Chains A and B, each alone.
Chain A
Amino acid sequence: MYIYDKYDQTIARERVTEFTQQVKRRLAGELSEDQFRPLRLMNGLYLQLHAYMLRVAIPYGTLSAKQLRKLADIAEKYDRGYGHFTTRQNIQYNWIKLDQVPELLAELATVEMHANQTSGNCIRNVTADQFAGVAGDEVEDPRIVSEIIRQWSTFHPEFSFLPRKFKFAVTGAPKDRAAIQYHDIGIHIVKNEAGEIGYAVYVGGGMGRTPVVAPLINAFVPKAELLSYLEACLRVYNRYGRRDNIFKARIKILVRDLGPGEYKRQVEEEWQRIRGTGIDIPPEEEARIRSFFKPPQYETIAEPVHSFVEAQAKNRSFARWVETNVHPHKVPGYGAVTISLKPIGGIPGDASTDQMRAIADLAEKYSLSELRVTHVQNLVLPNVRQADLHAVWQRLREIGFAEANIGLVTDIIACPGLDYCSLANARSIPVSQRISERFADLDKQHHIGPLQIKISGCINACGHHHAGHIGILGVDKAGQEFYQLTLGGAGDETASIGQLLGPGFSSDDVVGAIEKVIDTYLGLREKPSETFIEAYRRVGPVPFKESLYGGH
């Protein structure tokens, strides 16, 4: 993991001091709410329906056991005993008191964490593949370039007042687990024919009211020149992105309006101007950052690991959990465990103080003290010996996080929705809970196969509904919660935007409608291995519309 140097430490410490003073002045009435609001947002502090909400950054979703333990302490001391892991691989606390925020941030800084740039029109937390460094299919660990981008974008003076927020995602593998084409800039680490590493750069993707799958703007940016290229991408946006209309201010609108070709031309022109002027990272600094991500000391373990094979043969529940929740590791004898924060009927992404502490213990004991947060709102123990998987599973069962449902119908993304969020039009969590309960039977879930349901409580799409195989969008219809369904979205390397099926469903009817969609799929799939998204792409929306609306 990256460890703060004196610059990082100074930045974190000075920001706490600065915000402490600002809070003090606000409480003393020396700053008005209008003056204070942008300052608190720069520190990740929102005012929601019931209280302040604090969003803490977890850079590219990587956490140490020590940091998770601190996040648990904060939940206990300053919140109501739980936190919510988000689709940006961050954590949010829902019950924060303004006068306690300075103390909270000072505590966070003791474990090299903060809430900077988790809100506002700046470059937000960089997200990455949760299996970074352990996936067998990756070209390079995406955390290296993510950390470089984090440092470059931290308090970048030119990009701290962009037309709108700006989100990066990075994958080092051809299998995209980071939804890169749904980001303002998505970076795919690639190798060219000469075997050199570089970056395919996608620009102008996004969710929200105008969903766009980002076009490829440059198929190969040389490794040494990424930052100057990104600087050129941002500079064109900062110069021409719209500031007159908040709904048209994201870079996706600029790229769309200019056309990807013209945007690319302008970026190239800017890049030629600034290339070689000292923006790019010196090789020795790149090497320094890289050194933090060198693989840990793995043991040499021969496969098959007999105890692991036997445990699966003896225990069907364990075998099923291995099937869905353990990802192959690049090192023989190891596995990467996805801890499902989606117990049946639970709140997606929520973890209590006790659960966080138990998971931190597991990371310490079994995963070289490291953890990841996934954009699907789960946690990962990336480095577990296969011989330890059974013990990990047993402990997860004790804390209620051993559901064998990763990638299945109950592994649902849900935004906080109207239960917490002041922007929401409808609740998301209760809908996800009812779907989860309806499909609780694990045999049924496995029979249905891979299926991603994603729920947003408003058009801002924090719940990624556009990228859901089945997307659910909550709307307010004359004061009542209604839910529109979209089908055919995907956030992986085959990214596509879900298409609206028809009129929305009431809260009472929406779960039945989802079941009808799934039954329709089960009835028309050509074989059990044809997944929902494959079947949808083959047949289109018509059979689903017919079953839901009777063909009208």
Chain B
Amino acid sequence: MAQAKPINKILTGNRLRTGDTVYYTAAGAWSAYVSEAKVVTTPEGVEELDKAGKAAYAANQIVDINIIDVLPGDGAKPSHIREIIRATGPTVRMDLNKPVTPAGR
């Protein structure tokens, strides 16, 4: 029997007002830091993220909502280069990059 593909996903989008890239957290808030994203590993978890995304979109808070893959293991580390760049900033302007974790943690 074929094994189901492992699930490691997070929810992301951009704030309507500022355009900032943000991630959905376990506390149900939206954080600028990818390390604070809630990682789900089950189909039910994905469904929950989907619902949260749709709710934030309907509430006119977050736009361009996507559920994306992260690497398995600790912390939410995006697997695709596009999302790695989204999480930190342009690779050609390191001076403008943001950390994946808030300062002091």
Contact = CB atoms under 8 A, between A and B. Distances in A.
Contacts of B20: 50-51
B91 interface: yes
B17 A97 contact: yes
Nearest to A416: B90
Interface string A335-362: 0000000000001000000000000000
Interface in B80-94: 80-82, 85-86, 89-93
Contact of A49 (B17, B79, B82, B92): B82
B18 A347 contact: no
B79 A479 contact: yes
Interface string B64-105: 100000000000000111100110011111001000000000
Given A27-B16, A27-B17, A80-B96, A47 B64 contact: yes
Given A49-B85, A50-B86, A479-B79, A99 B17 contact: yes
Contact of B90 (A26, A50, A98): A50
A50 B16 contact: no
B85 A51 contact: no
B63 interface: yes
B81 A418 contact: yes
B42 interface: no
Contacts of B82: 49, 418, 424
Interface in A402-437: 418-420, 422, 424, 427, 429-430, 433
A27 B20 CA distance: 15
A113 interface: no
B21 interface: yes
Interface string A452-486: 00000000000000000000000000011100000
A533 to B, nearest CB: 29
Contacts of B89: 50
A442 B40 CA distance: 54
B92 A419 contact: yes
A420 B90 contact: yes
Contact of A50 (B21, B59, B92): B21
B57 A49 contact: no
A304 B58 CA distance: 70
Nearest to A428: B92
Given A418-B82, A433-B92, A49 B21 contact: yes
A32 B57 CA distance: 9
B14 interface: yes
A33 interface: yes
A98 B85 contact: no
A380 interface: no
B60 interface: yes
Contacts of B57: 33
Interface string A30-58: 00110000000000000111111000000
A98 B60 contact: no
Residue in B14, B17, B19, B79 whose Cβ sees the most chain A Cβ within 10 Å: B19
A98 B19 contact: yes
A195 B37 CA distance: 70
Given A427-B91, A429-B92, A479-B80, A418 B85 contact: yes
Contacts of A481: 81
Contact of A29 (B60, B64, B80): B60
Interface in B5-49: 14, 16-21
A271 to B, nearest CB: 44
Contacts of A430: 91-92
Nearest to B80: A479
B61 to A, nearest CB: 9
B92 A26 contact: no
A51 to B, nearest CB: 4
A522 to B, nearest CB: 29
A96 interface: yes
B84 to A, nearest CB: 10
Contact of B18 (A94, A98, A480): A98
A50 B96 CA distance: 11
B19 A47 contact: yes
A115 to B, nearest CB: 15
Given A347-B92, A419-B92, A47 B81 contact: no
B64 to A, nearest CB: 6
Interface string A61-85: 0000000000000000000100000
Contacts of A429: 90, 92
A94 to B, nearest CB: 8
B86 A51 contact: no
8 contacts: A48-B19, A49-B82, A49-B85, A51-B19, A97-B19, A419-B90, A479-B81, A481-B81
Given A51-B20, A427-B91, A429-B92, 7 more contacts: A29-B59, A47-B14, A48-B19, A51-B19, A418-B81, A429-B90, A430-B92
Interface of B: 14, 16-21, 57, 59-60, 63-64, 79-82, 85-86, 89-93, 96
Interface of A: 26-27, 29, 32-33, 47-52, 80, 94-99, 347, 418-420, 422, 424, 427, 429-430, 433, 479-481
- Which 5 A-B pairs have CB atoms at the shortest separation, nearest pair first? A419-B90, A51-B19, A52-B19, A29-B60, A97-B18
